[in-house]
Amino acid sequence: MPAALKQFTDTYLMWNEGYLIWISDILIALTSIGIVATLTYFKKWKWLWKEWLTSVDHKRIGIMYLIAALLMMFRGGADAMLLRTQLASPNSHFLTAEHYDQIFTTHGTIMILFMAMPMIFAMFNIVVPLQIGARDVAFPYLNAISFWLFFFGAMLFNISFVFGGSPDAGWVSYPPLTELGFDKGPGENFYLLSLQISGIGSIATGINFLATILKMRAPGMKLMRMPLFTWSVVAASIVIIFAFPALTIALALLMLDRIVGTHFFTMLHGGDPMMFVNLFWIWGHPEVYIVVLPAFGVFSEVVATFARKRIFGYTSMVASLLLISVISYFVWAHHFFTMGAGADVNTFFAVASMMVAIPTGVKVFNWLFTMFRGRISFELPMLWTLAFVPNFIIGGATGVMLAVAPADYQYHNSYFLIAHFHQVLIAGPVFGLIAGMYFWWPKMFGFKLDEKIGRIAFWLFNIGFYVCFMPQYALGFKGMQRRMYTYPAGMGWHTLNLISTIGAYIMGLGFLFIVVQIVYSIKYGERDLTGDPWNGRTLEWSLPSPAPHYNFAVIPTVTDRDMLWVMKQEGREGELRRINPDAIADIHMPKNSGRPFLMGLAFFVAGFGFVFNWYVLAVIGLVGVALTMILRAFEWDDEYHILAEEVREVEAALGRL
């Protein structure tokens, strides 16, 4: 039945839409074949399942988050390249309006939710238990569920481009544009369901890490002895726990509007789209602090380590982290100063938004004075941290400009805004997490990433950044709005857009150099045999790289904030690095489980069913979800012990006895 087949390929595979879809199809097919063939050829299927897909080890989960985040950065970056190519010249028809709309929507959504979020979760997972002297997180099984919900949410979102069509109403997804009246397609459903699925995982991660940090610190590690990265995770987790439920509700209600036909966000039956806008930003603004706070934590660790000096003003640093997380709840309306709120409301939110600059400014000064009278060496993690400072100062300055409500009437939705949030989100989370990646890479994999290629990547990405985004501030003053798929020739926007596009390509090149660097370093990177390649200050550097499965053979007792550093100063670091064999006892560990993976898969199936209103499929998925939960409820035997003898053998092999 060729007619039915054609209908299928046109409706779902969108083969009538041209080469962009075909190329994507081919790339996806080739990648999938490549992965399957490689795994089969090297007989790695069992290894993949036993060591990774079923793992509940925080270090493995962290690495999987990191890989996923880098892949998503590639996808979101490819989107950005397409957008910038389209905008390089006026009246361009490289992309159609429909494709452009889909691509800016997926670019924004992926970068925030499927790149920045897994990147911070990668850091949470890899660093926190090692830094606080724990053997895993509080709920390892839940941690695996979080990861697989994120993963399958991301897959569901990504598949939309080649199956059914991507969402095309912007990452903010305001109704009524996203209601059935204006948007019948499945794209918006993909957005709602994939964010919903991964969002559940994010809430669980917030709870998990808050519990881990509050309950599982090594003896002697009082709250005010915690490393600042751990503190930043506390702050971010609190924000996650309070902010994400608002998103969950907003998405759920909009989904009901679209699937069941309720009217929460249409005016037509007494609903109100403003309610969505409020709910979205009550989550959305804290969300940007969720991704930037851990980056601040990374910078604090890196600055102290590479300036060889104690962090300056620790108490202020902690206070400002917590203050930022509190203020983050009182600024959401600055995303819509122009939606008719009263002058009193606008003034309140304007002043609250400016107040964010106070604790943030304090952090910057404290970083500066950590370096003051220090000894700064410019290795890769420090290079990205130093690049962050001036970049974030400028981004913060334009942020305060935007907070001035009446001035915002002129900036709102213009390229000035686009330049601002890219500047703070790239200088903050992206630079921070790249710095963190370089910093803790040896701890994850046992080798350093190549310095030389890394420097090329650094300069390309940084110069590219300024070339790309500085012109966009100017474009805002020239009156160019965001989300226009093309623009006329007479407005004087052409040159600046062209420069911006060139900058974006340079950044893209920088990213490719990071990829090259990783590939190169796997083979040729300097091996880290000491476990302490940077002359570190905190507990994780007292462990071998990579850390053994159980992390600490004996949990250390903490007496100082910069535990390892102080021990080194006193010549006592051996107490952390040499284990007394008699002190080793059996270690209690969680068992691996395939269920979190299957549960994620079941969520994926259910989500996919709801996207197309294929309820049989949706029900099958939901039954799968219920089944994995029930099976878990009746699982009694989910823990085991690593025997002391075994631990002694491992430690002896590492030369630590």
Partner 1 sequence: MHKQSVKKWGALVTAVLAAALLSGCGPQYLVFHPVGPVGKQELNLIITSVILIAIVIVPTLAIFFFIIFRYRNTPGNKAKYSPEWSESKVLEVVWWSIPIIIVGILSVFTAKTTFALTRPPEQNVNPMTIEVTSLDWKWLFQYPGQGVATVNYCEIPTGVPVQFVLTSDAPMNSFWVPQLGGQEYTMPGMAMGLWLQADKPGQYYGHGANFTGRGFAHDDFTVIAASNSDFNKWVSQTKSSAPALTMADYNKLKKPSTMGTASYSSFPKGLFDNVIWSEGGRYMPGTMNMAGMASGNSTAMSNSTAKSGIANEASQSSSSNK
Nearer to partner 1, 202 or 230 (CB): 230
Residues between 106 and 165 with contacts to partner 1, criterion CB under 8 A: none
Determine if 185 is a binding residue for partner 1 (CB under 8 A).
Answer: no
Q: In the complex, what is the shortest distance from the CB of residue 105 to partner 1, in angstroms, rounded to a whole number? A: 9
Nearer to partner 1, 285 or 561 (CB): 561
Among 23, 29, 33, 397, binds partner 1 (CB under 8 A): 397
Determine if 245 is a binding residue for partner 1 (CB under 8 A).
Answer: no
Residue 102 token pair = 């889909």
Nearer to partner 1, 12 or 348 (CB): 348
Nearer to partner 1, 8 or 477 (CB): 477
Binding mask 84-113 for partner 1 (x = CB under 8 A): -------------xx--x------------
Whether the CB-CB separation of 159 and 186 falls below 8 Å is answered with: no
Determine if 483 is a binding residue for partner 1 (CB under 8 A).
Answer: yes
CB atoms within 10 A of CB 138: 18
Q: How far is CA 132 from CA 227, 320, 560, in A?
A: 8, 21, 12
Among 16, 410, 557, 559, binds partner 1 (CB under 8 A): 410
Determine if 364 is a binding residue for partner 1 (CB under 8 A).
Answer: yes
Stretch that binds partner 1, among 341-349, 547-555, 611-619, 637-645 (CB under 8 A): 341-349
Q: How far is CA 68 from CA 115, 364, 481, 593, in A?
A: 8, 31, 32, 20
Among 24, 85, 338, 535, binds partner 1 (CB under 8 A): 338
Q: In the complex, what is the shortest distance from the CB of residue 567 to partner 1, in angstroms, rounded to a whole number? A: 14
Among 310, 455, 632, 648, binds partner 1 (CB under 8 A): 310
Whole-number Å distance between alpha carbons of 386 and 65: 26
Nearer to partner 1, 78 or 356 (CB): 356
Nearer to partner 1, 339 or 522 (CB): 339
Determine if 361 is a binding residue for partner 1 (CB under 8 A).
Answer: yes
Determine if 196 is a binding residue for partner 1 (CB under 8 A).
Answer: no
Please provide residue 587's backbone torsions phi and psi, each rounded to the nearest 5 degrees: -110, 130
Nearer to partner 1, 130 or 323 (CB): 323
Stretch that binds partner 1, among 172-180, 513-521, 600-608, 613-621 (CB under 8 A): 172-180
Among 224, 339, 489, 522, binds partner 1 (CB under 8 A): 339
Dihedral of CA atoms 118, 119, 125, 129 in degrees, nearest 10, equals -150
Which residues does 45 contact at the CB level (< 8 Å), separation at least 6? Answer: 39
Nearer to partner 1, 460 or 518 (CB): 460
Whether the CB-CB separation of 311 and 369 falls below 8 Å is answered with: no
How many CA within 13 A on the CB side of residue 583? 14
Determine if 351 is a binding residue for partner 1 (CB under 8 A).
Answer: yes
Quick one: DSSP state of residue 635?
A: -
Q: In the complex, what is the shortest distance from the CB of residue 120 to partner 1, in angstroms, rounded to a whole number? A: 25
> Crossing angle of helices 494-524/451-477, nearest 10°?
160
Q: How far is CA 214 from CA 134, 231, 275, 378, 394, in A?
A: 11, 11, 35, 34, 35
Determine if 491 is a binding residue for partner 1 (CB under 8 A).
Answer: yes
Q: How far is CA 102 from CA 22, 186, 189, 421, 483, in A?
A: 16, 12, 13, 20, 10
Stretch that binds partner 1, among 285-293, 360-368, 451-459, 551-559 (CB under 8 A): 360-368
Closest CA to 486 of 81, 92, 30, 14: 92
CB atoms within 10 A of CB 641: 11
- Give strand ranges (E) for 448-603: 587-590
